[in-house]
Copies of this chain bind each other. A is one copy, B any other.
Amino acid sequence: MIIPVKWIDGAVEMLDQRLLPNEEKWLTLRSADEVADGIRDMVVRGAPAIGVSAAYGIALGVKNFVGTSLIDLEEEFEYVCETMGKTRPTAVNLFWAIDRMKRTFQKAKKDDKTISEIKQILIADAKAIHEEDIESQRLIAKFGGELIEDNSTVLTHCNAGALATGGVWGTALGVIRGAVNQGKNISVIADETRPYLQGARLTAWELLQDDIPVTLITDNMSGHMMQKGKVQAVVVGADRIAANGDTANKIGTYMVAVLAKANNIPFYVAAPLSTIDLQCSTGDEIPIEERNIREITHIQDIQLAPDGISVSNFAFDVTPNNLINAIITEKGVARAPFTESLRNMFDD
Protein backbone atom coordinates (compact mmCIF):
# COMPACT_ATOMS: atom_id res chain seq x y z
CA MET A 1 0.00 0.00 0.00
CA ILE A 2 1.66 3.21 -1.22
CA ILE A 3 1.23 6.41 0.81
CA PRO A 4 3.73 8.95 -0.55
CA VAL A 5 3.37 11.66 2.13
CA LYS A 6 2.84 11.15 5.87
CA TRP A 7 2.66 13.14 9.09
CA ILE A 8 4.88 11.31 11.56
CA ASP A 9 6.05 12.59 14.95
CA GLY A 10 5.39 16.20 14.07
CA ALA A 11 7.25 16.15 10.77
CA VAL A 12 6.32 15.49 7.13
CA GLU A 13 7.78 12.35 5.61
CA MET A 14 7.93 12.30 1.79
CA LEU A 15 8.93 9.46 -0.50
CA ASP A 16 11.43 11.08 -2.88
CA GLN A 17 9.72 10.32 -6.21
CA ARG A 18 12.64 11.77 -8.14
CA LEU A 19 14.70 8.71 -7.26
CA LEU A 20 12.09 6.06 -8.13
CA PRO A 21 12.19 3.34 -9.33
CA ASN A 22 15.89 2.97 -8.61
CA GLU A 23 15.79 3.96 -4.95
CA GLU A 24 13.06 4.20 -2.28
CA LYS A 25 14.27 7.01 -0.07
CA TRP A 26 12.15 8.93 2.45
CA LEU A 27 12.88 12.56 3.32
CA THR A 28 11.97 14.03 6.70
CA LEU A 29 10.84 17.65 6.27
CA ARG A 30 10.78 19.76 9.41
CA SER A 31 9.65 23.18 8.14
CA ALA A 32 7.06 24.69 5.81
CA ASP A 33 9.86 25.94 3.58
CA GLU A 34 11.24 22.42 3.22
CA VAL A 35 7.78 21.17 2.23
CA ALA A 36 7.41 24.02 -0.28
CA ASP A 37 10.78 23.10 -1.77
CA GLY A 38 9.67 19.46 -1.91
CA ILE A 39 6.59 20.42 -3.92
CA ARG A 40 8.47 22.81 -6.23
CA ASP A 41 11.32 20.36 -6.85
CA MET A 42 8.92 17.46 -7.43
CA VAL A 43 9.92 15.27 -4.50
CA VAL A 44 6.15 14.86 -4.51
CA ARG A 45 3.94 15.60 -7.52
CA GLY A 46 0.40 14.94 -8.70
CA ALA A 47 -2.43 17.34 -7.94
CA PRO A 48 -4.07 15.59 -4.95
CA ALA A 49 -0.66 14.76 -3.42
CA ILE A 50 0.35 18.41 -3.77
CA GLY A 51 -2.85 19.42 -1.97
CA VAL A 52 -2.24 17.03 0.93
CA SER A 53 1.42 18.05 1.14
CA ALA A 54 0.56 21.75 1.18
CA ALA A 55 -1.90 21.19 4.05
CA TYR A 56 0.75 19.34 6.02
CA GLY A 57 3.29 22.05 5.18
CA ILE A 58 0.98 24.75 6.54
CA ALA A 59 0.32 22.67 9.66
CA LEU A 60 4.07 22.28 10.09
CA GLY A 61 4.66 26.02 9.70
CA VAL A 62 2.08 26.80 12.38
CA LYS A 63 3.36 24.05 14.67
CA ASN A 64 6.87 25.57 14.48
CA PHE A 65 5.60 29.02 15.52
CA VAL A 66 7.27 29.96 18.81
CA GLY A 67 5.61 33.30 19.64
CA THR A 68 2.80 34.04 22.04
CA SER A 69 0.80 36.62 20.04
CA LEU A 70 -2.20 35.52 17.99
CA ILE A 71 -1.51 38.39 15.59
CA ASP A 72 2.02 37.10 15.00
CA LEU A 73 0.67 33.57 14.51
CA GLU A 74 -1.77 34.80 11.89
CA GLU A 75 1.01 36.69 10.13
CA GLU A 76 3.15 33.56 10.12
CA PHE A 77 0.17 31.50 8.90
CA GLU A 78 -0.45 33.91 6.02
CA TYR A 79 3.22 33.85 5.09
CA VAL A 80 3.28 30.05 5.05
CA CYS A 81 0.13 29.91 2.93
CA GLU A 82 1.65 32.39 0.49
CA THR A 83 4.86 30.32 0.29
CA MET A 84 2.86 27.19 -0.52
CA GLY A 85 0.82 29.03 -3.16
CA LYS A 86 3.96 29.98 -5.05
CA THR A 87 5.25 26.44 -5.53
CA ARG A 88 3.34 25.27 -8.59
CA PRO A 89 0.64 27.17 -10.49
CA THR A 90 -1.50 24.61 -12.32
CA ALA A 91 -2.76 22.06 -9.77
CA VAL A 92 -5.80 23.66 -8.18
CA ASN A 93 -5.77 21.18 -5.27
CA LEU A 94 -2.91 23.24 -3.90
CA PHE A 95 -5.08 26.36 -3.67
CA TRP A 96 -8.06 24.30 -2.54
CA ALA A 97 -6.02 22.96 0.41
CA ILE A 98 -4.67 26.44 1.24
CA ASP A 99 -8.19 27.90 1.18
CA ARG A 100 -9.52 25.15 3.40
CA MET A 101 -6.74 25.63 5.94
CA LYS A 102 -7.46 29.40 5.89
CA ARG A 103 -11.13 28.79 6.64
CA THR A 104 -10.18 26.42 9.44
CA PHE A 105 -7.80 29.02 10.87
CA GLN A 106 -10.45 31.75 10.75
CA LYS A 107 -13.05 29.53 12.37
CA ALA A 108 -10.65 28.59 15.19
CA LYS A 109 -9.81 32.25 15.69
CA LYS A 110 -13.49 33.18 15.73
CA ASP A 111 -14.10 30.43 18.28
CA ASP A 112 -11.49 32.09 20.53
CA LYS A 113 -9.16 29.09 20.46
CA THR A 114 -5.71 29.45 22.04
CA ILE A 115 -2.51 29.33 19.97
CA SER A 116 -1.89 25.81 21.19
CA GLU A 117 -5.42 24.76 20.27
CA ILE A 118 -5.17 26.41 16.82
CA LYS A 119 -1.98 24.45 16.15
CA GLN A 120 -3.74 21.19 17.05
CA ILE A 121 -6.82 22.11 14.99
CA LEU A 122 -4.73 22.83 11.88
CA ILE A 123 -2.71 19.63 12.26
CA ALA A 124 -5.95 17.70 12.66
CA ASP A 125 -7.45 19.34 9.58
CA ALA A 126 -4.38 18.52 7.46
CA LYS A 127 -4.73 14.90 8.56
CA ALA A 128 -8.45 15.04 7.74
CA ILE A 129 -7.66 16.40 4.26
CA HIS A 130 -5.36 13.43 3.79
CA GLU A 131 -7.91 10.88 5.02
CA GLU A 132 -10.69 12.41 2.92
CA ASP A 133 -8.44 12.31 -0.12
CA ILE A 134 -7.86 8.58 0.32
CA GLU A 135 -11.60 8.01 0.83
CA SER A 136 -12.36 10.02 -2.33
CA GLN A 137 -10.01 7.82 -4.28
CA ARG A 138 -11.68 4.69 -2.93
CA LEU A 139 -14.99 5.96 -4.31
CA ILE A 140 -13.41 7.06 -7.61
CA ALA A 141 -12.01 3.54 -7.90
CA LYS A 142 -15.46 2.06 -7.30
CA PHE A 143 -17.38 4.32 -9.71
CA GLY A 144 -14.61 4.35 -12.32
CA GLY A 145 -13.99 0.61 -12.13
CA GLU A 146 -17.61 0.06 -13.19
CA LEU A 147 -16.95 1.92 -16.47
CA ILE A 148 -14.11 -0.39 -17.50
CA GLU A 149 -15.17 -3.52 -19.34
CA ASP A 150 -13.81 -6.96 -18.51
CA ASN A 151 -10.77 -8.05 -20.56
CA SER A 152 -9.77 -4.49 -21.37
CA THR A 153 -6.41 -2.91 -21.89
CA VAL A 154 -6.44 0.58 -20.41
CA LEU A 155 -3.95 3.23 -21.52
CA THR A 156 -2.86 5.85 -19.00
CA HIS A 157 -0.61 8.88 -19.28
CA CYS A 158 1.77 10.20 -16.62
CA ASN A 159 1.22 8.94 -13.07
CA ALA A 160 -2.18 9.48 -11.53
CA GLY A 161 -1.58 6.73 -9.04
CA ALA A 162 -1.23 6.36 -5.29
CA LEU A 163 2.00 8.34 -5.64
CA ALA A 164 0.15 11.31 -7.11
CA THR A 165 -2.43 11.43 -4.32
CA GLY A 166 -2.73 10.95 -0.60
CA GLY A 167 -2.11 7.32 -1.34
CA VAL A 168 -3.52 3.79 -1.56
CA TRP A 169 -5.63 3.99 -4.75
CA GLY A 170 -4.76 6.90 -6.99
CA THR A 171 -7.19 8.55 -9.40
CA ALA A 172 -6.59 7.06 -12.88
CA LEU A 173 -4.80 4.08 -11.35
CA GLY A 174 -7.62 4.04 -8.79
CA VAL A 175 -10.05 3.37 -11.64
CA ILE A 176 -7.81 0.56 -12.85
CA ARG A 177 -7.43 -0.87 -9.32
CA GLY A 178 -11.19 -0.57 -8.88
CA ALA A 179 -11.83 -2.60 -12.04
CA VAL A 180 -9.31 -5.22 -10.92
CA ASN A 181 -10.93 -5.37 -7.46
CA GLN A 182 -14.28 -5.94 -9.19
CA GLY A 183 -12.80 -9.17 -10.60
CA LYS A 184 -12.09 -7.87 -14.10
CA ASN A 185 -9.17 -8.97 -16.21
CA ILE A 186 -7.33 -5.70 -16.88
CA SER A 187 -3.97 -4.88 -18.37
CA VAL A 188 -2.40 -1.47 -18.67
CA ILE A 189 -0.36 0.42 -21.24
CA ALA A 190 1.71 3.16 -19.59
CA ASP A 191 3.06 6.10 -21.63
CA GLU A 192 6.55 6.92 -20.38
CA THR A 193 5.55 10.63 -20.21
CA ARG A 194 8.46 12.83 -21.15
CA PRO A 195 10.16 14.83 -19.99
CA TYR A 196 9.88 13.72 -16.38
CA LEU A 197 9.09 10.07 -17.15
CA GLN A 198 6.42 9.67 -14.50
CA GLY A 199 4.91 6.82 -16.52
CA ALA A 200 8.15 4.86 -16.85
CA ARG A 201 9.39 5.59 -13.36
CA LEU A 202 6.22 5.76 -11.24
CA THR A 203 3.21 4.18 -12.96
CA ALA A 204 5.22 1.15 -14.06
CA TRP A 205 6.66 0.81 -10.55
CA GLU A 206 3.25 1.07 -8.84
CA LEU A 207 1.58 -1.47 -11.10
CA LEU A 208 4.46 -3.92 -10.79
CA GLN A 209 4.04 -3.69 -6.99
CA ASP A 210 0.35 -4.61 -7.41
CA ASP A 211 0.96 -7.36 -9.97
CA ILE A 212 -1.27 -5.60 -12.51
CA PRO A 213 0.08 -6.39 -16.01
CA VAL A 214 1.65 -3.29 -17.51
CA THR A 215 3.45 -2.56 -20.78
CA LEU A 216 5.60 0.53 -21.07
CA ILE A 217 5.64 2.53 -24.31
CA THR A 218 7.05 5.85 -25.44
CA ASP A 219 4.59 8.72 -25.78
CA ASN A 220 5.03 8.40 -29.53
CA MET A 221 3.53 4.91 -29.51
CA SER A 222 0.08 5.55 -28.02
CA GLY A 223 -1.47 6.32 -31.41
CA HIS A 224 -0.06 3.18 -32.97
CA MET A 225 -1.40 1.02 -30.12
CA MET A 226 -4.86 2.55 -30.48
CA GLN A 227 -4.81 2.23 -34.26
CA LYS A 228 -3.96 -1.48 -33.87
CA GLY A 229 -6.94 -2.10 -31.56
CA LYS A 230 -4.77 -2.68 -28.51
CA VAL A 231 -6.47 -0.07 -26.29
CA GLN A 232 -10.08 -0.33 -25.05
CA ALA A 233 -10.15 2.71 -22.77
CA VAL A 234 -8.01 5.68 -21.73
CA VAL A 235 -8.00 6.96 -18.14
CA VAL A 236 -6.02 9.96 -16.93
CA GLY A 237 -5.94 12.17 -13.85
CA ALA A 238 -6.26 15.94 -13.80
CA ASP A 239 -4.46 18.95 -12.37
CA ARG A 240 -7.39 21.32 -12.76
CA ILE A 241 -10.85 20.89 -14.27
CA ALA A 242 -12.71 24.01 -15.39
CA ALA A 243 -16.44 24.46 -14.77
CA ASN A 244 -17.21 23.37 -18.35
CA GLY A 245 -15.15 20.16 -18.05
CA ASP A 246 -12.05 21.37 -19.92
CA THR A 247 -9.22 19.53 -18.18
CA ALA A 248 -5.63 20.58 -17.55
CA ASN A 249 -3.41 17.55 -17.07
CA LYS A 250 0.17 16.48 -17.82
CA ILE A 251 1.46 17.65 -21.20
CA GLY A 252 0.49 15.08 -23.85
CA THR A 253 -2.95 14.36 -22.40
CA TYR A 254 -4.63 16.45 -25.11
CA MET A 255 -2.77 14.41 -27.72
CA VAL A 256 -3.94 11.11 -26.21
CA ALA A 257 -7.51 12.45 -26.07
CA VAL A 258 -7.48 13.45 -29.76
CA LEU A 259 -6.12 10.00 -30.69
CA ALA A 260 -8.73 8.24 -28.54
CA LYS A 261 -11.50 10.20 -30.26
CA ALA A 262 -10.06 9.42 -33.71
CA ASN A 263 -10.05 5.72 -32.81
CA ASN A 264 -13.47 5.63 -31.05
CA ILE A 265 -11.95 4.76 -27.68
CA PRO A 266 -13.60 6.16 -24.52
CA PHE A 267 -11.50 8.79 -22.73
CA TYR A 268 -12.07 9.20 -18.98
CA VAL A 269 -10.75 11.75 -16.49
CA ALA A 270 -10.57 10.68 -12.82
CA ALA A 271 -10.21 13.34 -10.12
CA PRO A 272 -11.60 14.32 -6.73
CA LEU A 273 -13.86 17.37 -6.41
CA SER A 274 -10.88 19.27 -5.01
CA THR A 275 -9.49 19.28 -8.58
CA ILE A 276 -12.57 21.00 -10.02
CA ASP A 277 -12.28 24.79 -10.17
CA LEU A 278 -15.71 26.29 -10.72
CA GLN A 279 -14.03 29.73 -10.74
CA CYS A 280 -12.44 28.85 -14.10
CA SER A 281 -15.27 28.85 -16.59
CA THR A 282 -13.17 27.27 -19.37
CA GLY A 283 -9.73 25.75 -19.84
CA ASP A 284 -8.46 29.01 -21.34
CA GLU A 285 -8.34 30.47 -17.83
CA ILE A 286 -6.12 27.72 -16.39
CA PRO A 287 -2.50 28.87 -15.93
CA ILE A 288 -0.03 26.49 -17.57
CA GLU A 289 3.30 26.02 -15.79
CA GLU A 290 6.53 26.24 -17.80
CA ARG A 291 9.43 24.35 -16.26
CA ASN A 292 13.20 24.36 -16.55
CA ILE A 293 14.39 23.36 -20.02
CA ARG A 294 17.06 21.14 -18.51
CA GLU A 295 14.29 18.56 -17.93
CA ILE A 296 14.30 18.17 -21.72
CA THR A 297 17.92 18.78 -22.67
CA HIS A 298 19.46 16.47 -20.07
CA ILE A 299 18.86 13.22 -18.22
CA GLN A 300 20.94 13.53 -15.10
CA ASP A 301 24.29 14.61 -16.54
CA ILE A 302 23.77 13.25 -20.04
CA GLN A 303 23.21 15.95 -22.65
CA LEU A 304 20.47 15.04 -25.15
CA ALA A 305 20.43 18.14 -27.36
CA PRO A 306 22.99 20.58 -28.75
CA ASP A 307 24.27 23.50 -26.70
CA GLY A 308 22.36 26.71 -27.22
CA ILE A 309 19.15 25.07 -28.44
CA SER A 310 15.90 26.93 -27.79
CA VAL A 311 13.41 24.77 -25.87
CA SER A 312 9.77 25.02 -24.79
CA ASN A 313 8.76 23.07 -21.69
CA PHE A 314 5.06 23.42 -20.94
CA ALA A 315 4.22 21.02 -18.12
CA PHE A 316 0.48 20.75 -18.85
CA ASP A 317 -2.02 21.05 -21.64
CA VAL A 318 -5.79 21.45 -21.75
CA THR A 319 -8.09 18.78 -23.14
CA PRO A 320 -11.36 20.36 -24.32
CA ASN A 321 -14.53 18.89 -22.83
CA ASN A 322 -15.79 17.52 -26.16
CA LEU A 323 -13.00 14.92 -26.12
CA ILE A 324 -13.94 13.65 -22.63
CA ASN A 325 -16.50 10.84 -22.29
CA ALA A 326 -16.83 11.13 -18.52
CA ILE A 327 -15.27 12.73 -15.44
CA ILE A 328 -15.16 10.34 -12.50
CA THR A 329 -15.26 11.86 -9.01
CA GLU A 330 -16.03 10.61 -5.50
CA LYS A 331 -19.61 11.75 -6.07
CA GLY A 332 -20.07 9.62 -9.17
CA VAL A 333 -19.69 9.92 -12.94
CA ALA A 334 -20.25 13.25 -14.69
CA ARG A 335 -21.06 13.37 -18.38
CA ALA A 336 -21.75 16.14 -20.91
CA PRO A 337 -23.00 18.79 -20.54
CA PHE A 338 -20.34 19.11 -17.87
CA THR A 339 -21.19 22.64 -16.77
CA GLU A 340 -24.38 21.18 -15.34
CA SER A 341 -23.17 17.75 -14.21
CA LEU A 342 -20.07 19.10 -12.44
CA ARG A 343 -21.97 21.86 -10.66
CA ASN A 344 -24.54 19.32 -9.46
CA MET A 345 -21.79 17.38 -7.72
CA PHE A 346 -21.18 20.31 -5.39
CA ASP A 347 -24.88 20.69 -4.57
CA ASP A 348 -25.28 17.58 -2.45
Q: How far is the CA of A59 from the CA of B127 in the complex (A)?
A: 73
Q: Does A304 belong to the interface (CB within 8 Å)?
A: yes
1/0 per position for A199-230, CB-CB distance to B under 8 A?
01100110010000111111111111101000
Q: Does A67 belong to the interface (CB within 8 Å)?
A: no
Q: Does A335 belong to the interface (CB within 8 Å)?
A: no
Asked whether B309 lies within 8 Å of A204 as measured between CB atoms, the reply is yes
**Cβ-neighbour of A21 out of B192, B227, B262, B306 (below 8 A):** B306
Q: How far is the CA of A224 from the CA of B288 in the complex (A)?
A: 11
Q: Does A70 belong to the interface (CB within 8 Å)?
A: no
In the complex, identify which listed stretch (A83-91, A107-115, A137-145, A295-303) lies at the interface while the others stay far away. Answer: A295-303
Q: Does A183 belong to the interface (CB within 8 Å)?
A: no
- Knowing A204-B305, A300-B302 are in contact, say whether A220-B311 is a contact too (CB < 8 A): no
Q: Does A259 belong to the interface (CB within 8 Å)?
A: yes
Chain A: residues with Cβ within 8 Å of the partner, total of: 54
Q: Does A255 belong to the interface (CB within 8 Å)?
A: yes
- Count this chain's copies in the assembly: 2
A113 CB → nearest B CB, Å = 47
Q: Does A26 belong to the interface (CB within 8 Å)?
A: no
1/0 per position for A307-318, CB-CB distance to B under 8 A?
111111110011
Given the complex, which residues of B lie within 8 Å of A307, measured CB to CB? 21
A24 CB → nearest B CB, Å = 11
Closest B residue, CB atoms, query A20: B306
- Knowing A208-B309, A223-B252, A317-B223 are in contact, say whether A216-B302 is a contact too (CB < 8 A): no
A-B contact pairs, 9 of them (CB 8 A): A194-B194, A194-B220, A204-B309, A214-B309, A220-B255, A223-B252, A223-B255, A224-B317, A299-B302
Residues of A in contact with B (beta carbons under 8 Å apart): 21-22, 189, 192-195, 197, 200-201, 204-205, 208, 213-225, 227, 250-252, 254-255, 258-259, 262, 296-297, 299-300, 302-314, 317-318
Beyond known contacts A215-B312, A299-B302: 12 more, CB 8 A cutoff = A194-B194, A197-B304, A200-B309, A204-B305, A215-B311, A217-B296, A217-B313, A218-B313, A221-B317, A223-B252, A223-B255, A227-B254
